[in-house]
Amino acid sequence: MRIGLKSAAGAFSLLLVTGCGAGAADDGRIGTAAVVSPHAQQVYDEIQAEPPARQRAKAVQLADAEGSLEVYTSLTDDVADAVTKAFRKQFPQIKISMFRGNSETILQRILQESQARKLGADAVESDFLEMSSLDSQRALARYTGPGQARVAASSRFPDWTADRFNVFLPAWNTDLVKAADVPRSWEALADPRYKGKITLEPTDSDWYENVTHYWLTHGKSQAQVDGLWRRIVANSHVTKGHTTIMALLGAGQTPLDSMNYTYITEQARLKGAPVAYRLPDGTNPLPAFPRPNGVGMLRGAQHPAAAWLFYDWMLDEGQRVLAGLHLTPSTKVPGDTSLQGIHLVPFDVKGLTDTTTDWDKKYDEQLRGVASARGDG
C-alpha cells in the first residue's frame, strides 16, 4: 500500500536532525525537522546568484570538484539506466549513482536516513505525493534556475518541479476488444458487457480519487458515483503492478486494464504486443489525468552543486531522454507525440495531498473481496 501523505508527514515531523553541519528549521509548514546543511544552501545560493545564462556553467564548475552525485528515483529500471547513461556521457567527471525503488520506498529511505542523521541522497526524482511530502517537511531546497521557465506554471511546486507525467487511461488488447467495444468514457467501465474482463491495480487510489473528483465536479451525485464504482468493481479482477498487468494484457490473458500509464502501453505496443490506449483514428475521448512526477534537490545534500546540475539537466536535456522512451515530458520536446489525440484534464493534486481524507483506505474498501486476475487469490 502507498504511504499516505498524512502518515509520512507524521513520521517526518517526529525527526529532529542536528548532525554535523546540519540543523533543523521551521517556516510554518507541516513538519519542523529536516536534514539541513548550511554548506549545501551556500552552494545553491552561489549558483543561483549568477545570471540565468551562467548558472549552468557555475554548477558544472562546482560539481566537477564534488565529483559525485547520488539520486533516489522511482523511475523504472530502463528509464533510470537511460538517464544515468546520458548524464554520465555529458558530465563524465561526475560519478552518478542511482538508488531505484518505488515511490513509497524512496520516501521511507529518506525518512530512515534522516532519523539516522546520515542522508545519502543529493537529489530525488519521484511521484508527486512523495515529493509533496518532502516539500511539506522542508526537506527540499528551492531551485530558481532557468529550468523553471521551461515548464508551465502548473508544473511548478514550492520546492520541486514536475519533469514528467504519468497519464491515466484504459488500455486494451486489440485482439480481444474490438474498436467498437472500447470504452468511450470512464462510466462505460461499469457496463455489464465488461463483466470479468477488467483488471484493476490495487494501489491506484490516485486514479480512483481523480475519477471520483471528476464525476462529482461534473454533475454526478455521491450516490451515482458510489453506484458506478460498485459496478466497475463487480466487473473486475485485481493484479498488482502496472508492468505486470500490461504483460498479462499483451499476452491475451486479460482483455482490458481499467487504467495503465500510457507510456507503459506505448512501450509494449512498440515491442509488438497487441495493445492500445488510442482508437484506430489515433484519439481517445476519455478525460486523461496527467499525474506529475518531479525532481528536487535536498537541503542536506553532500554534493549540492551536482544536485542542482541534475535538477536543471532533468528540465532540459533529460526531457529528450524521457521523450525518447515514450514518457510524457513536462516541457515541449520536438517529436514528442505522447499527448497526441489525448484529452487532458487537470490532475487533482490538492485532493490527494489533503491529509483529512485517506484515499488508500477508501480504495482498499472498494476492492475488498475482488479476486486476482490470475485466479490465485
pLDDT digits (tens, 9 = 90+) for 8-18: 444 444 333 33
Whether 295 and 315 have beta carbons less than 8 Å apart is answered as yes
Q: What pLDDT is stored for residue 60 in this prediction?
A: 98
125 and 246 housed in the same domain: no
Q: What pLDDT is stored for residue 26 in this prediction?
A: 42
Backbone angles phi, psi at 296, to 5 degrees: -150, 160
Averaged pLDDT for residues 150-170: 96
Q: At what angle do helices 317-324 and 77-90 cross, to 10 degrees?
A: 140
Structurally, the chain folds into a number of domains equal to 2
User: Helices marked H in 171-270 — which ranges?
Assistant: 205-216, 222-234, 242-250, 262-270
Per-residue pLDDT for 357 more than 70?
yes
147 and 280 housed in the same domain: no
246 and 196 housed in the same domain: yes
- % of the chain at pLDDT higher than 70: 90
Q: What pLDDT is stored for residue 25 in this prediction?
A: 45
Whether 332 and 73 have beta carbons less than 8 Å apart is answered as no
**Nearest C-alpha neighbor of 75 from the set 293, 360, 261:** 293
User: Helices marked H in the chain — which ranges?
Assistant: 5-13, 38-48, 52-66, 77-90, 103-115, 128-136, 205-216, 222-234, 242-250, 262-270, 304-314, 317-324, 349-352, 359-367
Question: To the nearest whole number, what is the mean pLDDT of the chain?
Answer: 90
- Whether residue 373 lies inside any domain: the answer is no
Query: Residue 374 — pLDDT band, cuts 50, 70, 90?
Result: low
152 and 274 housed in the same domain: no
The string of pLDDT tens digits covering residues 58-75 is: 999 999 999 999 999 999
- % of the chain at pLDDT higher than 90: 83
Write the CATH number for 285: 3.40.190.10
Backbone angles phi, psi at 139, to 5 degrees: -85, -15
193 and 278 housed in the same domain: yes
Query: Residue 115 — pLDDT band, cuts 50, 70, 90?
Result: confident
Per-residue pLDDT for 359 more than 90?
yes
- Whether residue 372 lies inside any domain: the answer is no
128 and 39 housed in the same domain: yes
248 and 207 housed in the same domain: yes
Q: Which residues pair with 144 in a beta bridge?
A: none
Range of the domain at 35: 5-165+292-329
Whether 324 and 60 have beta carbons less than 8 Å apart is answered as no
Query: Residue 223 — pLDDT band, cuts 50, 70, 90?
Result: very high
281 and 317 housed in the same domain: no
- Whether residue 96 lies inside any domain: the answer is yes
14 and 127 housed in the same domain: yes
Query: Residue 52 — pLDDT band, cuts 50, 70, 90?
Result: very high
Please give the angle made by the CA atoms of 96, 48 and 45, to the nearest 5 degrees.
85
**One-character DSSP codes across 117-160:** T----SEEEEEHHHHHHHHHTT-EE---SGGGGGS-GGGEETTE
240: which 3 cell numbers?
498488482
Q: At what angle do helices 205-216 and 359-367 cross, to 10 degrees?
A: 100
Per-residue pLDDT for 313 more than 70?
yes
- Whether residue 119 lies inside any domain: the answer is yes
Query: Residue 30 — pLDDT band, cuts 50, 70, 90?
Result: very low
Averaged pLDDT for residues 327-350: 96
Task: Please tell me which residue, 270 or 117, carries the higher pLDDT value.
Answer: 270
